[in-house]
Structure 1
Amino acid sequence: MCIQTDRQTDRQTDRQTDRQTDRQTDRQTDRQTDRQTDRQTDRQTDRQTDRQTDRQTDRQTDRQTAKFKILNK
C-alpha cells in the first residue's frame, strides 16, 4: 500500500510541477510576444508620425517660400 501511495503522490507532484512550469513558460512567452508586438507597433507609429511631420513641415516650407516669392516680385 505504501509503495502505491508513494507512486501516486509522486505522479501528482510531477503533474503539478509540470503544469506550473508550463504556465510559467506560457506567461513568459506571452510577455515576450507582447513586448515584441508593442515595440513593432511603437516603431510603426513613430515612422508614421515622422512621415506626417515631415510632410507638414515640407508643406509649410513650400507655402512660406511661395509667399516670399510672391511678395518679392
Structure 2
Amino acid sequence: MGKGDKKTKRGKINRGTFGARRPRIKKRVRPETKIDIEKKGTVKP
C-alpha cells in the first residue's frame, strides 16, 4: 500500500491518473462570467 499501488490515492498521485479514489475537481462557473453587464437587451417597440 503506497506509491506503487494502483488503488490508493498516493498511487494515483504517483502515476498521475484519476479514478474513484482521486476524482477530478470540476471548475465551477461563476455567475459573473455567465451574465455580461456590457450587453444590454434591445427593447422592441
**Structure ID, larger Rg:** 1
* TM-score in terms of structure 2 length: 0.34
Structure richer in helix, relative to its length: 1
User: Which protein has greater RCO, CA pairs closer than 8 Å, 6+ apart?
Assistant: 2
* TM-score in terms of structure 1 length: 0.28
